[in-house]
């Protein structure tokens, strides 16, 4: 919310970007973003990055199409609405081919993203000795993106809530 002259309050619409890749963790991050970050009037961008060496094969296109259809179904289930009422937020899907980190950071800047949501994978048992490339990618996004960046992971089956990491706080538990 921002205060304008005269004391009237106006809310600024934000753009929320979620990186999707077809994994269960990415779907959980998308659900979290739609239920905890996006507000009425916001624009939610689902970004799917294809590897730069990936050819335009029919199999890859079919896989991407299935992913988009699946995510669309999840979005509709999360934001049920009456036919006459406008949707609470707008969802768009971008499929871009290129290097993952550079593509994500470039789109954040180009689209003036307010919040970037990533899936945070469960640390490996060897976390003290080495980190995975996905963990490194998430850390790079958190450190370098020009917006509020959150890595989200659904808590274990027996425990509710989410673990959320930001630039300032790592793995804090959000029970919601």
Residue 30 domain flag = yes
Q: Which residues are 153's β-sheet partners? A: 163
Q: Which two tokens stand for residue 152?
A: 């989200």
Residue 6 domain flag = no
**Number of domains into which the chain is organized:** 1
User: What are the backbone angles phi and psi of residue 146, rounded to the nearest 5°?
Assistant: -90, 45
Q: Mean pLDDT of successive 10-residue segments in the chain (176 residues)?
A: 40 88 86 88 91 67 67 62 59 90 97 95 61 85 95 80 87 68
Report d(CA 110, CA 55) in Å as an integer: 25
Report d(CA 63, CA 22) in Å as an integer: 9
CATH number at residue 45: 3.40.50.620
Cβ neighbours of 2 (radius 10 Å): 7
Q: Give the domain extent around 85.
A: 13-174
| pLDDT recorded at residue 90 | 85
Residue 1 domain flag = no
Three-state DSSP class for 159? Answer: coil
| pLDDT recorded at residue 2 | 39
Residue 69 domain flag = yes
Residue 34 domain flag = yes
Residue 163 domain flag = yes
| pLDDT recorded at residue 156 | 72
| pLDDT recorded at residue 67 | 67
- Residue 98 C-alpha from the chain's centroid: 18
DSSP state of 33: H
Residue 136 domain flag = yes
Residue 4 domain flag = no
Residues 51, 155, 87, CA angle at the centre, nearest 5°? 70
């Amino acid at each position: 919310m921002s205060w304008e002259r005269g004391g009237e309050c106006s809310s600024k619409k934000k753009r929320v970007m979620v990186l999707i890749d077809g994994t269960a963790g990415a779907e959980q991050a998308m659900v979290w973003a739609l239920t905890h970050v996006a507000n009425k009037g916001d624009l939610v961008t689902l970004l799917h990055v294809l590897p730069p060496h990936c050819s335009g094969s029919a199999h890859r296109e079919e896989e991407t199409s299935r992913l988009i259809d699946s995510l669309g179904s999840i979005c509709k289930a999360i934001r049920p609405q009456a036919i006459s009422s406008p949707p609470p937020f707008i969802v768009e899907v971008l499929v871009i081919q290129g290097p993952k980190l550079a593509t994500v950071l470039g789109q954040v800047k180009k689209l003036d993203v307010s919040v970037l949501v990533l899936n945070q994978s469960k640390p490996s048992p060897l976390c003290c000795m080495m980190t995975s490339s996905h963990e490194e990618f998430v850390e790079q996004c958190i450190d370098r993106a020009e917006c509020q960046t959150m890595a989200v992971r659904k808590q274990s089956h027996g425990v509710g809530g989410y673990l959320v990491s930001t630039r300032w706080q790592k793995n804090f538990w959000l029970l919601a």
